[in-house]
Amino acid sequence: MKKIELILLTLFSISAFHYSRAQSSPFPLTENEIGVKIDSLERIYKAYEKQTFSSLEESDQINVMTAMGLEAILNIAPDYYREYGKPTIIIDTLKDENAWRVWASNTKLKKPIIPEKKENIGKLIYIIRFSYNTEKENLGVSYIAEFIVLKENGEPLQLFIPATMNIVPFETQSFKERMKEKVLPENRIKYAPYIPNTRT
């Protein structure tokens, strides 16, 4: 347990450090632009509301997940919204705290994704990784944001912004509830420049 607490403290410290170095996004959006884009994205996934996620064609599932992920970014971290390339889709499995302990002792291993709800442990997930143009900016990682959903029903689980190490969960408070809140500008995740040797 101490190792988990230590690694969480480390991640929090890194996040706080990045926040203190926050600066303006190189691709800023106005509030009007954010609103227009969110409205457009909502129309995409709400068009499938009368169908179950599992009944959709794979291409439609990707459209739904991508639209929801981009809306989450625009609402919570618009500084990290990019319209570049296609997202990478990865299938993985939700792990338990034991996997986190193993990773905490050797962070060169792949970082496990731990759900808030224990009943989700062992379930398959889609990881949607959004790209950015690495020739125009350097965030220290190959993707700008990660959106995670349950494979069985498309339920969003979390949004991860690797540049700031922020994880936004959607299990206790659902994606739908969080999107209704419309995060105020001062409470959004801010853009932070990449600083070498500060990422785990």
The DSSP-derived string for 144-171 is SEEEEEETTT--EEEEEETTTTEEEE-T
Mean predicted confidence (pLDDT) in 145-169: 96
Q: What is the pLDDT of residue 179?
A: 96
Burial group, residue 182, by CB count within 10 angstroms (0-12, 13-18, 19+) = exposed
The contacts of residue 146 (CB under 8 Å, 6+ apart) are 127, 128, 129, 130, 159, 160, 161, 162
Single pTM value for the model: 0.85
Give the model confidence (pLDDT) of 57-114 as tens digits.
999 999 999 999 999 999 999 999 999 999 999 999 999 989 888 888 887 788 899 9
Residue holding tokens 């932070």?
192
Tokens of residue 33, six digits: 């632009």
Q: What is the pLDDT of residue 117?
A: 93
Confidence class for position 131, pLDDT limits 50, 70, 90: very high
